[in-house]
Structure 1
Amino acid sequence: MRRLRDQDALIPRPRGTLPKVCAVALAAMAIGGVMFLSPERLFGWVAMVILILTLGPLLHGLCLLAEEMLNHSKTRYRGRWLLSHVLPACGFGGKTLLAAGLAGLLLYLAGPPLPHEEQCWKLLLLTSALYALFKSLGVLGPSEVEVSDICEGRKMNVAHGLAWSFYLGYLQLVLPRLEDSITAFCDTHKAFWGRGSRKLLILIPLNANISHKLEEEDDNIHFYDNLPNNEINRAGVRGRVYKHSVYRVLDEHGKNHECVVEYATPLLTLYSMSQESSAGFGEPERRQQVLLFYRTLQEILEHSLECRNRYTLILLNDEHEDDPHLLSKALLRHLQQQEREEFCLTPPTQQEMRNPFAGPSSAPPSAPRMNGDRRLHEPMSREPTLMFSLEKPQPLKEAVEDSDHYWGQI
């Protein structure tokens, strides 16, 4: 399903590899400049710089290792092996150790880039020690962009946990039963669903401020009734009840559009966290988490076979809060888009159903009827029926011997 353009303009895309490309370009230009100025000591300078850049994190890792081994080896690592858990957690990874070893070997083979060897070792030791100091003090700490990239890449944000909880604890359970619930609702209420949507419309406001009654937020929306309850045994609760509410949305022509609408309940948690000072969760962080919640939930549902084509995520922008019919307009916009994207198959007429073989006698029943140069195609699909021929059965044609004729032509 195509997404609306106004929603795409708000959703942040995952960060790409442009920083890596820029870093490679800068490194290539720097190496090219050194090669042009002093090509005879290029390998020595490269080895020296790599050794400094790797020894600094290793010295900082020693400082972290002292803290972890003395105060957290039992509580955080439960006494697990030093080499397999504590050392990698402190930064002593295989890549860092391998780069430092290769840089030391290259420096030994290429020779020191400075005139005096003592100057190289002084620079190496002093730079690495100061790096560990500044790193521990937070001067060389990661930027907000780096922290955000790490959290998004490793799914460590609050929004990721809420999105997965909303899917696994609710949507995965109720969406496969939604179609049957709507059918049972139409049978019991003798209601014609009409132009309504048979999907669950999930509202996600950017400000995370949720109204518990939609009709109080927009007078073009009216509560109709609840769908039949779904009772599911869940986490020790026998027959836990899950329900959905049906609403009627009035358009500008006064026509009703029935739909099942509800807010994404995890947004209540985000809003409550932003109201608590101890949570350290302000309004800008809340807005960012709402957008990440929308993107994460969309990615989860797009890969879910149980929920496919049974939902619609609606992101509500809070820039037009003064509009009293903002919610109904958003719902109608998505309902109309859904109607345009779905192909409606025209049912066969009553005459075709009474006499499906009516038509010119020369045309077979399956052939389309002709009207001048225009073809009147039959419906694209219809209920399967048994087709009986009214003609008498004809005898099978006797075999004709033609072997002599065949051999005569050879």
Structure 2
Amino acid sequence: MQNLLNEDAVVPRPRGTLPKVCATVTAVTAMVGVWLVSPERLFGWVAMAILILTLGPLLHGLCLLPEEILHHANTRYRCPPVLSRVLLACGLSGRTVPAAGGAGLLLYLVGQPLPDLSHCCELLCLVSALYPLVKTLGVLGPSEVEVSDICEGRKMNVAHGLAWSFYLGYLQLVLPRLEESIAAFRASHLDGPFQGRGSRKLLILIPLNANISQKLENEDDNISFYDNLPNVEMDRAGVRGRVFKHSVYTILDEQREGGRECVVEYATPLLTLHRMSQESSAGFGETERRQQVLLFYRTLRDILERSLECRNRYRLILLNDLHENEPHFLSTVILRHLQQQEKEEFCLTPPPQQEMADPFLYLNHQGLMSCEPSLMFSSDKPKPLKEPVENSDA
């Protein structure tokens, strides 16, 4: 496995507004071209085009309406008002109806008939009637990018649910108690880990291939199990004293020296993603699994960054599967993160000292600064303020 140092090159960013900008530029360019050819008919053509584009979806929504009312109104739309929810689900409200009404009003206000108005009306009726058929057959169905954008925008991906479940059902419960568990572990292991400088965070491994081993030592023989932290027990979902635990591992370098202990584990929801990709009924292939793992990492990172309870108690490690055949790569990655964490948390070099022109003066300053602070009183009597002297030319 390879550590992804440059995560921005791998983790997908949320989709932006560039498609809207491109669509706006294309529409403005087309309208400018029509205006140059026939400026007096610009608004008429724009109104007719909008009518053609909006009446089709409205007719398609009317085709969806009977199915929803007859067979799904009582099961899918139980929250009142049922009718308005059905209309909204079929696309018969929102932006489509006002757009069609505004286009019709604009066409009426233009007042100047378009050339061959009867032919334009025939085209309007024919295109609007054929749109529901073409749409129902899937010819005008949404692309994968559109579906992905909708799912990410409405938080409908599998990764979003797994990330929130992992946070609310596990990390939010155990991370605030991690320091107490480590303190209890130190008290029972006086010669063990966490006595000096060391990682007191939970290292969470997130491999892109979602292939998780049940024991870390099976992945890398430079990693060995040391002990478990004290169990965290709490009443959860009707279970009295549900147990949560963390494992401490010893990480060796390439020379099998310099053992470092840390609390590390895989993100358990990735087991679900891996099993789903192996079930044909889930419709979840390897490509979709990798995409969902990246979305899981991005969602979990955003959630934890906003969590006050979990701040400075975790470290996410995103792993690639390009070097999964290297025997000691996982230990190398973990050690690299531990070293980076120490550099971030501890100052390894003394603060720079300014050079003084006179070293004895420097020592005197050091002596004065090291003395206990004391109050100094003056024995001189207070003097009046100096009166202003008038200095003006006669």
Task: State the TM-score, normalized to the length of structure 2.
Answer: 0.88
Secondary structure, counterpart of 1:202 in structure 2: strand
Match of 1:215 in 2: 217
- Amino acid of the residue matched to residue 248 of structure 2? V
Secondary structure, counterpart of 2:118 in structure 1: helix
Partner Cα distance (2:45, 2:246) in 1: 68
Deviation string 1:105-151 (CA, Å, 9 cap, x unpaired) is 11112246642332222111111111111111111010011001100
Identify which of structures 1 and 2 has the higher relative contact order when contacts are C-alpha pairs closer than 8 Å and 6+ apart. 2
Deviation string 1:236-281 (CA, Å, 9 cap, x unpaired) is 1121111100001011351011110101000111111111111111
Partner Cα distance (2:186, 2:329) in 1: 28
- Amino acid of the residue matched to residue 186 of structure 1? R
| Unmatched runs of 5 consecutive residues or more in structure 1 | 348-358, 368-386
Partner Cα distance (2:40, 2:207) in 1: 62
Partner Cα distance (2:258, 2:26) in 1: 62
Q: 1:218 to 1:399 in 2, by over 3 A?
A: same
Query: What count of residue pairs does the alignment treat as equivalent?
Result: 374
- Amino acid of the residue matched to residue 229 of structure 2? L
Q: 1:33 to 1:80 in 2, by over 3 A?
A: same
Q: Given that residues 60 and 132 in structure 1 are in contact (C-alpha distance below 8 angstroms), is that contact kept between their aligned partners in structure 2?
A: yes
Match of 1:61 in 2: 61
Q: 1:289 to 1:219 in 2, by over 3 A?
A: same
Secondary structure, counterpart of 1:228 in structure 2: coil
Secondary structure, counterpart of 1:88 in structure 2: helix
- Amino acid of the residue matched to residue 288 of structure 1? Q
Partner Cα distance (1:103, 1:197) in 2: 64
Match of 1:379 in 2: none
- Amino acid of the residue matched to residue 341 of structure 2? Q
Secondary structure, counterpart of 2:325 in structure 1: coil
Q: Given that residues 274 and 280 in structure 1 are in contact (C-alpha distance below 8 angstroms), is that contact kept between their aligned partners in structure 2?
A: yes
The aligned runs of 1:129-278 (5 Å cut-off) are 129-190=129-190, 191-193=192-194, 194=196, 196-253=198-255, 254-278=257-281
Q: Given that residues 4 and 318 in structure 2 are in contact (C-alpha distance below 8 angstroms), is that contact kept between their aligned partners in structure 1?
A: no
Partner Cα distance (1:362, 1:277) in 2: 77
Partner Cα distance (1:314, 1:332) in 2: 11
Deviation string 1:148-180 (CA, Å, 9 cap, x unpaired) is 110011100000000000000000011111112
Q: Does 1:337 align with 2:318?
A: no
| Unmatched runs of 5 consecutive residues or more in structure 2 | 351-361
Name the % identity.
70
Match of 1:295 in 2: 298
- Amino acid of the residue matched to residue 65 of structure 1? L
Partner Cα distance (1:103, 1:24) in 2: 18
**CA shift for structure 1 position 5:** 3.0
Alignment counterpart, residue 311 of structure 2, candidates 283, 301, 308: 308
Partner Cα distance (1:326, 1:97) in 2: 59
Partner Cα distance (1:264, 1:400) in 2: 75
Q: Does 1:320 align with 2:323?
A: yes
Match of 1:280 in 2: 283
Partner Cα distance (1:304, 1:213) in 2: 29
Partner Cα distance (2:346, 2:185) in 1: 24
Q: Identify the range of structure 1 (21-30 vs 193-202) with the bigger mean alpha-carbon deviation.
A: 193-202
Partner Cα distance (1:204, 1:40) in 2: 61
Q: 1:360 to 1:9 in 2, by over 3 A?
A: closer
Q: Given that residues 73 and 79 in structure 1 are in contact (C-alpha distance below 8 angstroms), is that contact kept between their aligned partners in structure 2?
A: no
Match of 1:72 in 2: 72
Secondary structure, counterpart of 1:313 in structure 2: strand
Q: 1:184 to 1:113 in 2, by over 3 A?
A: farther
Task: State the TM-score, normalized to the length of structure 1.
Answer: 0.85
- Amino acid of the residue matched to residue 283 of structure 1? E
Match of 1:400 in 2: 381
Deviation string 1:301-359 (CA, Å, 9 cap, x unpaired) is 01111111111111111111210112111111211221222233789xxxxxxxxxxx9
**CA shift for structure 1 position 6:** 3.7
**CA shift for structure 1 position 25:** 1.0
Partner Cα distance (2:60, 2:90) in 1: 8
Q: Given that residues 197 and 335 in structure 1 are in contact (C-alpha distance below 8 angstroms), is that contact kept between their aligned partners in structure 2?
A: yes
Q: 1:312 to 1:406 in 2, by over 3 A?
A: closer
Partner Cα distance (1:94, 1:63) in 2: 17
Q: 1:388 to 1:131 in 2, by over 3 A?
A: same
